[in-house]
Structure 1
Amino acid sequence: MTEPAQSGFISHLLELRNTLLRSVIAVLVIFIGLAYFANDIYSFVANPLIENLPENSQMIATDVTAPLFTPFKLTLFVALFAAIPFILHQIWSFIAPGLYAHEKRMLIPILLSSIVLFYGGIAFCYFVVLPIILSFFTGIGPEVMTLTPDISSYLGFVLKLFLAFGIAFEIPVAIMLLCWSGVTSTSSLKEKRPYIVVGAFVLAMFLTPPDVLSQTLLALPMLLLFELGLILAAFYSAKPSSEESQEEKQ
């Protein structure tokens, strides 16, 4: 490796380190700002369950440290989710100098839409999915059973669902990127639609708790988002390499 190339490689590594460091600092700053409201944040997230608990039932903590650490654990995840726009901006700043002008014009709206879709997936899970599945779960047990869910178990349950729906709502963005890069095309995806339907339910089975209801509530939006991605991807196609080579990087 020549001296200029080595120097450039080291500068890229330093810039990557600074990007990661700024992202971590952003998460920590948001976490510190939200730490005082940790119990309120947990109460807000637990509200769909509390509203569906039978009378005289309440949440419990089976671990001595759970009442302290569980709300703070949730707050850390909230800080991470809240910092995603900043983190994506840092990633964009790192890769943007190596992109062509048409790539920048293409990726900026995709970057913005991916943020909106991720938050939209979490909101859909909290306001639509959680009330449905929790109402179902809390209502099917025998009357002699006293439901006392553990706060740590519930946190793991909802975080898994939030992450699953947040990622699943990125399907339109993934389809647009695949079609734009030339990896696939809308016509090819339409031909594979039956397999994708099966694959959506299989993927939902791994991403959600082991029950048919939550799997279906994830798989159906995934299929709708797949159709939306096909519509949006029709406006994008792979750019000929000859045209790319003539365009200067900015």
Structure 2
Amino acid sequence: MTDAERGARAADDADDAVQPRLLDHLLELRARLLRAVAGLLIAFVALLPFGNTLYAWLAQPLLDKLPAGGQLIATQVASPFFAPVKLAFFAALLLVMPWLLYQAWSFVAPGLYRREKRLALPLLASAVALFYAGCAFAFFLVLPTVFGFLAGITPDGVAMMTDITAYLDFVLVIFLAFGASFELPVALVILVVLGWVTPAQLREARGYAVVGIFIIAAVITPPDVVSQLLLAVPMCILYEIGILAARWVTPRTAADGDAPAP
């Protein structure tokens, strides 16, 4: 057998070895996706009967700021049905987010190095906790403050009556905006771990970051100063927390090796 023939056979053997591994990865991905979807559907079905209760709870920050007798309205025939269903799905998604992330982690974890696993787990847990903290901050502080401000500047003779679908969309956008914005420390740590920036560069860019934060807050929040400040100020604090966390991570990433986990 010539060298060319032996090389061709070795290449064929390598391809035959790769195909089963690729098939195993695809089967594992399908299993993880099915488990994630199953968990989401179970949570959605479990919360669906409580859709109206969830909506009444979500609407309370606005109802508390309306004059006596104030209420939400439904301008579309099907809104009383679709709004609670949409809210139940969103609540189910928030509820099973750790389960969804666990399925994603279980799929990618075998291919990570030991150092990457030690960094990824705290970052993943911090990301989930910060997103929940952002949503809680928005519900318990931002929404009552914003609705109180808007109700206070409503002209005389104007009844503040909001459509239930419009209100739900508004609140969900606020939740997503604050939940995503509270991920700022995690994003900074990831940038430092990837080597794109250093903690010293983050400190030097603090002034530009503050300006960018206020611009972002003005874009993604309602057009009132109160909600912009309530987003920008926590983000500035989180930026400083991100710098501290990045300083803590930097020496560890430099000291750890890149040996794969057993």
Assess same fold via TM > 0.5.
yes
Q: CA deviation digits over 1:12-60, x for unaligned, max 9?
A: 2332222222111111101111111110000111000000012232110
Matched to 2:115, the amino acid is H
- 1:38-187 aligned within 5 A: 38-187=51-200
Q: Which of 167, 188, 211 is matched with 1:198 structurally?
A: 211
Q: Quick one: distance in 1 between partners of 2:152 and 2:37? A: 42
Query: Is residue 2:42 matched to residue 1:29?
Result: yes
Assess if the C-alpha contact under 8 Å between 1:113 and 1:173 holds in 2: yes
Structure 2: state its 5+ residue gaps. Answer: 1-13
Q: 1:194 deviation in Å?
A: 1.3
Q: Look up the match of 2:260.
A: 248
Give the stretch that moved more between structures: 77-86 or 55-64: 55-64
Q: 1:223 deviation in Å?
A: 0.9
Q: 1:139 deviation in Å?
A: 1.3
Q: 1:133 deviation in Å?
A: 0.3
Q: 1:8 deviation in Å?
A: 2.2
Q: 1:130 deviation in Å?
A: 0.5
Q: Quick one: distance in 2 between partners of 1:240 and 1:222? A: 28
Matched to 1:175, the amino acid is L
Assess if the C-alpha contact under 8 Å between 1:181 and 1:237 holds in 2: no
Matched to 1:243, the amino acid is G
Assess if the C-alpha contact under 8 Å between 1:31 and 1:75 holds in 2: yes
Matched to 2:220, the amino acid is L
TM-score when scaled to structure 1?
0.94
Q: Look up the match of 2:9.
A: none
Q: Quick one: distance in 2 between partners of 1:243 and 1:141? A: 61
Assess if the C-alpha contact under 8 Å between 1:74 and 1:155 holds in 2: yes
- 1:225-240 aligned within 5 A: 225-237=238-250, 239=253
Assess if the C-alpha contact under 8 Å between 1:120 and 1:166 holds in 2: yes
Q: For residue 248 of structure 2, give the secondary structure of its aligned residue in structure 1.
A: coil
Matched to 1:195, the amino acid is Y
Q: Quick one: distance in 1 between partners of 2:46 and 2:81? A: 17
Q: Look up the match of 1:6.
A: 19
Q: Quick one: distance in 2 between partners of 1:23 and 1:62? A: 35
Q: Quick one: distance in 1 between partners of 2:245 and 2:34? A: 35
Distance 1:131 1:33, change over 3 A: same
Q: Quick one: distance in 2 between partners of 1:64 and 1:123? A: 31
Q: Quick one: distance in 1 between partners of 2:32 and 2:255? A: 30
Distance 1:162 1:242, change over 3 A: closer
Assess if the C-alpha contact under 8 Å between 1:125 and 1:162 holds in 2: yes
Q: For residue 66 of structure 2, give the secondary structure of its aligned residue in structure 1.
A: coil
Q: Quick one: distance in 2 between partners of 1:73 and 1:11? A: 36
TM-score when scaled to structure 2?
0.90
Q: For residue 143 of structure 1, give the secondary structure of its aligned residue in structure 2.
A: coil
Q: 1:240 deviation in Å?
A: 5.2
Identity %: 44
Assess if the C-alpha contact under 8 Å between 1:179 and 1:237 holds in 2: yes
Root mean square deviation, CA, Å: 1.7
Q: For residue 2 of structure 1, give the secondary structure of its aligned residue in structure 2.
A: helix
Q: Quick one: distance in 2 between partners of 1:191 and 1:209? A: 30
